[in-house]
Amino acid sequence: MTKRKATAAAGRIPRPEHPRMQFRREDSWLNLNGKWDFAFDPGKSGAERGWAKGDPADFGLKINVPFCPESKLSGIGDVDFHESAWYRREVAFPSAWAGRRIALHFGGVDFLCEVWIDGRLAGTHVGGSSPFSLDVTALARPGEKQTLVVHALDELRSGMQGRGKQCPDYYSRGCSYTRVTGIWQTVWAEAADPRGLASCRIVPNFDASEVVLEPRFFSVAPGSRFRATVRAGGKTVAEREVPAAQGLPVAVPVPGARAWSPSDPFLYDLELSVAAADGETVDAVQSYFAMRKVSCEGGKILLNGKPVFLRFVLDQGFYPDGVWTAPSDAELRRDIERSMAAGFNGARLHQKVFEDRYHYWADRLGYLTWAEYASWSFDAAAPEAQRNFHEDWNAAVVALRDHPSIVGWTPFNETTANHLGMWKDGAPWVDPADRRFQSYQRFVRAVVADTRALDPTRPVNDASGWIHVETDLWTVHSYRATPKEQRTWLLPEKGGRPVAANVPGAEPPYEGQPFLLDEWGGFKYLLPEDRGNASGWGYNGLDLKDEKAFLDRIGAQTRLFARMPELAGWCYTQLTDVEQEQNGAYTYDRRPKADPAKFARLFGLRPKWSAW
C-alpha cells in the first residue's frame, strides 16, 4: 500500500454506509462514527462532576465508534464491568441545514442513554436493542462547531434489562460471552424539511397486488401533497399522489406484481415525496419493498401461499473483533452468504436485535429470518423490567417490520430458567400456581398482543423452546444426539402429547400450530489445526474427531426431519463458534469446518411438499 493510500485508509470512518436503507435522504445525512473522546465512570459520578458540559479534560481515552469498549475494534478492549461510560466529540452540522429539522439517530446504545449538546440535555432513551432518534433542531447551530456528549448506563446484573448472551460473570462461560456497553451501532445526523416525512409504514397486500403506505409527517401544511412512485429496474410501474394526511393509509396498485421469495428476491424501489401547495417538492425519501405474504395453515408456514420448510441456523451475531458489531457492512453480507452456501434458507437471529443493514442484505439475498429480543436475564415478574422490555421490543418491531425477509417474531427464549429461575431435578420446571409464573403469563400475553397489533402480518413465536403461553408457532428445543432419540421425543407414543413440549405441565394444549424444532445439533467439532484449543464445549458431551463423523451426525438427523410430515422446520445450532462454544458450522473467525457444498447436501434436505 502506498503512503497516500495508507493515509486515506486511516482517515476513513468505520461503517460509513447509510444505516437505514428503507428510509434514506441520500444528500442530507452525516455519519458521526469514528474517533470520540471517552471515559469510564466507575463511581457513576460523571453527571455530578459536570461531564455533560464536554470538557476534554474529563475524557482521557479515545474510542472508535460504533464499536463497544469491550471490543478490539474500539481501540480499548477492556472487558471488565463498566456500568457507566461517557462519550464526547465535536460536531458541525452543515450550514445548508439552517431552517431544517435536524435529528440525531442512534442505531443502538446499551442500555440507558442521555445526550447533551453544548451542555444542554437533548434527550434520553431506555433500551439497548432498539434504534432511536432525538430532535435537536432547537439546540443545533448549523455551520458552527458544537460539543456532543453521550452517557450510557448499563447495569447488566440488575435484572431490569435484557442482556441476551452477554456474560453476567467476568469470564465468559457456557453460552454467555463478552459484554457490550454503550454505543454499538452507527450514530448519525439528518436534516429534513419541517413539512417532510417523519416515517412511512410499508405493507404489501400480496393478494390484492398493491402496497399500502401509512405516512406520518413532521407537520402537514395546507395544500401539501404526498406522492409515492414505484420503480422496477429503473422503470416507473406505479404512482399515486394524494393530499397529505397524518397516518391515513394510501394504497398503490402494483399491476402484475412480481413476488419476493428465496429463489427470486425481487425488490421494488420506492420514492416517497412531499410537495407544497405550489407544487415544489420539499422532501424526498428513497426506500424499497417486496411483494410477499407470510401465513400459517394446516400446520405449515406459507410464503406467498406456498408451504416453506424452514431450514434455519442459529446466528448469534457475535464477532471476534467487534463483539455485537460487524467490522464492516461486507461482513454482514458475508455471514448470510456463508449460511446460504451451507444449505440454510434462513436464520433465527438469536438473543440480539440485529442491525437494520443486516436485514437489508437478507432482503436483497432472499434469506428468511426470525427476529428475536435479547431477553435473557431480565426479571420477568418485576414491573420495571417488564416496562423496559416492552418499550425496547415494541420499538424494535416498529423499526424492522417493513423488511420482507423477516417471517416471524420471537420476543422470548427459554423463559423458565432464564426469566423465572425455576428448576427441578436439573430440568426447567414450573408450578402453575406460583404467582410469579402467573404474572409472567400475563406479561407474555401483553407482549404478544402488542406485537400482533404492531405487525399483524407475521406469526409470533411467544417463547422459543419454553414456556409457551400464547403462540402462533409451536417451537421446542432438543439436543438429543441420535435420530432415534429425536423422533421418540419429538413425537411421543400413543397416549402422550401429539407433539413434544419442553415443560408440558405448564404449557397450553397444542392446537395445530406449525411445529418446529428450533434448536438442535450443537455438535462440537474442531478443525485439525485448532485441536490445541479444545477447552470449549458442544452439546451432548460430544467431541467429534474427524469431518466424516461430524457430517454423519448432521446428516442422520436432517434426513429424519425431511421424512417427518409433522415438522414445519428446524434451526441448527449454530452458524459459527462463539468464544468457548465450539459447535458452529464455521469457526469463530469464519473458516468452514467442512466444504460448504458438503454441508449444503445435508442442511439443504427438505420434504417434497416445500416450495423452497
Instruction: Examine residue 349 and state whether it is found in any structural domain, yes or no.
Output: no
| pLDDT value for 337 | 98
Same domain, 185 and 202: no
Quick check: 1 pLDDT over 50? Answer: no
pLDDT tens digits, one per residue of 73-110: 999 999 999 999 999 999 999 999 999 999 999 999 99
Please name every residue paired with 210 in a beta bridge, in sequence order, or none if there are none: 205, 253
Please give the average per-residue pLDDT across 259-288, as a whole number. 98
Instruction: Examine residue 498 and state whether it is found in any structural domain, yes or no.
Output: no
Quick check: 431 pLDDT over 90? Answer: no
Same domain, 276 and 159: no
Same domain, 117 and 184: yes
Q: Give me the CATH number covering residue 232.
A: 2.60.40.10
| pLDDT value for 2 | 43
61, 93, 120, 517, 520 from 31: Cα distances, Å: 21, 11, 22, 41, 41
Q: How confident is the model at residue 551 (pLDDT cuts 50, 70, 90)?
A: very high
- From 464, 482, 487, select the one nearest 474 (Cα to Cα): 464
| pLDDT value for 219 | 96
Same domain, 180 and 63: yes
Instruction: Examine residue 483 and state whether it is found in any structural domain, yes or no.
Output: no
Quick one: what percent of the chain has pLDDT higher than 70? 96
Q: Give me the CATH number covering residue 172.
A: 2.60.120.260
Last residue within a domain, chosen from 289, 320, 343: 289
Q: Compute the distance between CA of residue 374 and CA of residue 156 in angstroms, rounded to an integer.
A: 12
The per-residue pLDDT of the chain, averaged, comes to 94
Quick check: 439 pLDDT over 90? Answer: no
Instruction: Examine residue 229 and state whether it is found in any structural domain, yes or no.
Output: yes
Q: Compute the distance between CA of residue 12 and CA of residue 33 in angstroms, rounded to an integer.
A: 10
Instruction: Examine residue 551 and state whether it is found in any structural domain, yes or no.
Output: no
Same domain, 94 and 168: yes
Quick check: 553 pLDDT over 70? Answer: yes
Peptide linkage before 404 cis (omega within 30 of 0) = no
Last residue within a domain, chosen from 289, 306, 334: 289
Same domain, 173 and 251: no
Same domain, 201 and 59: no
| pLDDT value for 591 | 98
Give the H or E element holding residue 486: helix 483-490
Last residue within a domain, chosen from 168, 192, 216: 192
Residue 396 contacts residue 126 (beta carbons within 8 Å): no
Instruction: Examine residue 342 and state whether it is found in any structural domain, yes or no.
Output: no
Instruction: Give the domain range for residue 145.
Output: 3-192
Residue 599 contacts residue 313 (beta carbons within 8 Å): no
pLDDT tens digits, one per residue of 211-247: 999 999 999 999 999 999 999 999 999 999 999 999 8
Same domain, 29 and 169: yes
Same domain, 204 and 93: no
| pLDDT value for 531 | 87
Same domain, 122 and 182: yes
Q: Can you tell me whether residue 194 is helix, strand or coil?
A: coil
Quick check: 418 pLDDT over 90? Answer: no
Same domain, 83 and 47: yes
Same domain, 166 and 51: yes
Please tell me the pTM assigned to this model: 0.96
| pLDDT value for 8 | 35
Q: Tell me the HSE value of 279 on the side-chain side, using a 13 A CA sphere.
A: 0
Q: How confident is the model at residue 417 (pLDDT cuts 50, 70, 90)?
A: low
| pLDDT value for 505 | 79
| pLDDT value for 434 | 82
Domain count of the fold of the chain: 2
Cell numbers linked to 529: 489445526
Instruction: Examine residue 259 and state whether it is found in any structural domain, yes or no.
Output: yes
Quote the strand ranges of 177-308, DSSP E.
Answer: 182-183, 187-192, 197-205, 210-217, 225-232, 235-243, 250-253, 268-275, 281-289, 294-297, 300-303, 306-307
Q: Compute the distance between CA of residue 117 and CA of residue 9 in angstroms, rounded to an integer.
A: 30
| pLDDT value for 16 | 97
| pLDDT value for 152 | 98
Instruction: Examine residue 510 and state whether it is found in any structural domain, yes or no.
Output: no
pLDDT tens digits, one per residue of 329-347: 999 999 999 999 999 999 9
pLDDT tens digits, one per residue of 487-511: 999 998 766 788 998 888 788 999 9
